[in-house]
């Protein structure tokens, strides 16, 4: 638990000053214009999201959130500043295969220099390999990214891509040609905010997938390499869009330690600094702060491509697409292997990709993984060939989007609304994608990777749609529709005595549970279905699983027990709880 995220409407500076006097660290991370304010208290003036503190001590993070709302006046919200929403600032974990773990384990027992040995493709666990070929994912019989980038040429420089990850290795041969180091940013707590260099954190090990950002960046925009070890005869660019401008944004020090807040900050920084495309090979649970950042980015024409997520085959963990990729305004990158199978159905204990539910797959697409190039951090001339996970698929899709935008920039920049650039790009990528493979028919392809397999060159041939042909998607919502109805205005069925903000918190907490607990996720397939398609029995089955396995907050537990008849009376949902005091510090707004 990293703290809380609090959304305040009105005088943000007054709230910040008063809240800091109550004890916690207070840092503004996102400003939401009045026109963009949807959920929570009715819009009146702009709102600001704050990170509040670190080290808050309640056993359940949501209990702290309810405590803040119950003691809003004592926490700095009064008069001109009113709390609209509170949620935990969740420390998240991204499942990413550590390339070459077995080889590195052996190396640790021997000479440290062996850590920089080339790691070839790994066919263990049923993963597909493409024998005797390097950087095959770029080729004509796969994504055709090489053909596409060659056609676009130097026009790539018109497009700016934000890369949100663990950073970049300044000494690696794959360092992008147009890396905008003057705009680099770092949102990892305690680090230099203007230094996005990828580094192994103190106490880190080769088993925590260090250099995740270095690896994904090499697939996105990797520079020309000249026959490095394991790449005989290869003299070419490694990345899909090697001539695009890249903003490096460090949101994590390693892939098992990042927060909702740093993702929000990274997206907002990309938006404010003119990015056209964003590539992020991480994800986790849903969040109201995150949806506010996503919706602002969409309205301003920033196309987000994020990873669909990974799981361990046979393990009791969630298997569907993670957030923010799950929001329909974002392109989710799913995995397809070199032999045409989906990146799933692998042997037990093997990492594989997430997919589903059906309602999300309309805005998902497949790119190649595993066993694709992966630049090795702190090994300046080494590029492995065992890059894996949807982490590796994501930058390929983002690169293809950037190439299409660059190729058609004269037209798309003239659209009357910025969001139209996003929809035109998605339309081209989705129409050009292969709807079946040698190993999957149309139905299975859609089920497991969405709109098809990436074909970057074919997408270039699709002209931008006319403005009148493009449809703006509804704003992303942090909670599922049926839960929003259940806890809706007036408290349709649950929490009738609670105010609108607390009901929204209950709905969000219940939605987050499915991303953390397999038993909760499995209780209700396709929870994004239309509200009238989910009957009372299905709803109650989900709520039962949430109560029994989801570790709900005290306030939510009381509501669930009352609704499900587990006890005669529930504790009041609006009773203020104790606010835990933590160290004092003010981070000035700017």
Q: Please, what is the end-to-end C-alpha distance for the chain in angstroms?
A: 26
Handedness of CA 476, 469, 393, 157 (dihedral sign): negative
- Identify the pLDDT of residue 568: 52
Handedness of CA 72, 268, 397, 232 (dihedral sign): negative
DSSP summary character for residue 484: H
- Identify the pLDDT of residue 92: 78
Query: For 14-24, what is the mean pLDDT?
Result: 73
pLDDT exceeds 50 at position 297:
yes
Residues 369, 380: Cα–Cα separation, whole Å: 23
pLDDT-based confidence at residue 492 (cuts at 50, 70, 90): low
Which tens digits make up the pLDDT trace of 356-394? 999 999 999 999 999 999 999 999 999 999 999 999 999
Domain boundaries, the chain: 4-89, 118-469, 481-564
Query: For 41-53, what is the mean pLDDT?
Result: 77
More confident residue, 568 or 435: 435
- For 61, the token pair is 């993070």
Residues 55, 301: Cα–Cα separation, whole Å: 36
* Whether the Cβ atoms of residue 549 and residue 520 lie closer than 8 Å to each other: yes
What is the chain's mean pLDDT, rounded?
89
- For 153, the token pair is 């040429």
For the segment(s) 118-469, the CATH number from 1.10.3720.10, 3.60.15.10, 2.60.120.260, 3.40.50.200 is: 3.40.50.200
Which tens digits make up the pLDDT trace of 196-221? 999 877 665 555 568 999 999 999 99
% of residues, the chain, pLDDT over 90? 75
pLDDT-based confidence at residue 518 (cuts at 50, 70, 90): very high
Alpha helices in 487-530 (DSSP H): 500-516, 518-522
**pTM metric for this prediction:** 0.92
Which tens digits make up the pLDDT trace of 146-176? 999 999 999 999 999 999 999 999 999 999 9
Residues 415, 422: Cα–Cα separation, whole Å: 11
- Identify the pLDDT of residue 40: 41
């Amino acid at each position: 638990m990293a703290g809380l995220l609090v959304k305040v409407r009105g005088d943000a500076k007054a709230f910040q000053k008063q809240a800091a006097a109550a004890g916690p660290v207070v840092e503004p991370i996102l400003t939401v214009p009045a026109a963009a304010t949807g959920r929570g208290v009715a819009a009146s003036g702009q709102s600001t999201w704050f990170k509040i503190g670190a080290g808050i001590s309640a056993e359940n993070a949501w209990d702290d959130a309810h405590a803040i709302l119950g003691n809003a006046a004592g926490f700095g919200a009064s008069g001109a500043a009113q709390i609209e929403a509170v949620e935990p600032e969740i420390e998240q974990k991204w499942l990413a295969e550590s390339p070459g773990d077995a080889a590195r384990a052996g190396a640790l027992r021997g000479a440290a220099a062996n850590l920089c040995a080339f790691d070839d493709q790994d066919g263990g666990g049923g993963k597909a390999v493409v024998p005797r070929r390097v950087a095959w994912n770029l080729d004509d019989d796969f994504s055709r990214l090489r053909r596409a980038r060659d056609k676009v040429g130097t026009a790539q420089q018109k497009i700016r891509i934000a890369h949100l990850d663990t950073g970049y290795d300044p000494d690696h041969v794959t360092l992008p040609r147009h890396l905008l180091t003057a705009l680099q940013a770092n949102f990892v707590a305690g680090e230099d905010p203007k230094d996005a260099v990828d580094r192994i954190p103190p106490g880190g090990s080769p088993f925590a997938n260090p250099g995740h950002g270095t690896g994904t960046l090499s697939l996105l925009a990797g520079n020309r390499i000249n026959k490095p070890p394991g790449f005989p005869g290869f003299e070419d660019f490694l990345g899909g869009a090697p001539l695009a401008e890249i903003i490096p944004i460090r949101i994590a020090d390693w892939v098992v330690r990042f927060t909702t807040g740093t993702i929000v900050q990274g997206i907002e920084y990309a938006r404010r600094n003119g990015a056209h495309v964003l590539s992020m090979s991480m994800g986790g649970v849903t969040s109201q702060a995150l949806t506010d950042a996503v919706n602002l980015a969409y309205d301003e024409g920033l196309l987000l491509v994020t990873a669909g997520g990974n799981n361990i085959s046979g393990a009791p963990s969630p298997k569907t697409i993670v957030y923010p990729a799950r929001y329909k305004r974002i392109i989710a990158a799913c995995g397809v292997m070199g032999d045409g199978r989906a990146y799933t159905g692998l042997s037990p204990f093997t990492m594989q990709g997430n997919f589903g539910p059906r309602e999300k797959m309309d805005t998902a697409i497949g790119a190649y993984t595993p066993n694709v190039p992966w630049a090795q951090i702190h090994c300046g001339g080494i590029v492995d060939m065992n890059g894996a996970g949807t982490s590796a698929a994501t930058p390929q899709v983002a690169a293809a989007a950037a190439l299409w935008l660059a190729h058609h920039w004269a037209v798309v920049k003239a659209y009357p609304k910025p969001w139209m650039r996003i929809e035109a790009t998605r339309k081209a990528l989705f129409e050009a994608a292969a709807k079946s493979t040698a190993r999957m028919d149309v139905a299975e392809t859609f089920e497991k990777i969405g709109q098809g397999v990436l074909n970057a060159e074919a997408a270039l041939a699709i002209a931008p749609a006319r403005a009148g042909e493009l449809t703006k998607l509804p704003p992303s919502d942090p909670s599922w529709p049926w839960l929003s109805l259940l806890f809706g205005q007036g408290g349709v069925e649950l929490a009738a005595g609670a105010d609108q903000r607390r009901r929204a918190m209950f709905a969000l907490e219940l939605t987050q549970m499915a991303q953390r607990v397999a038993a909760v996720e499995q209780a209700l397939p396709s929870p994004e279905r239309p509200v009238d398609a989910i009957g009372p029995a299905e709803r109650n089955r989900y709520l039962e699983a949430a109560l029994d396995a989801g570790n709900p907050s005290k306030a939510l537990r009381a509501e669930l027990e009352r609704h499900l008849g587990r006890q005669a009376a529930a504790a009041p949902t609006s009773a203020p709880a104790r606010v835990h005091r933590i160290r004092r510090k003010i981070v000035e707004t700017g």
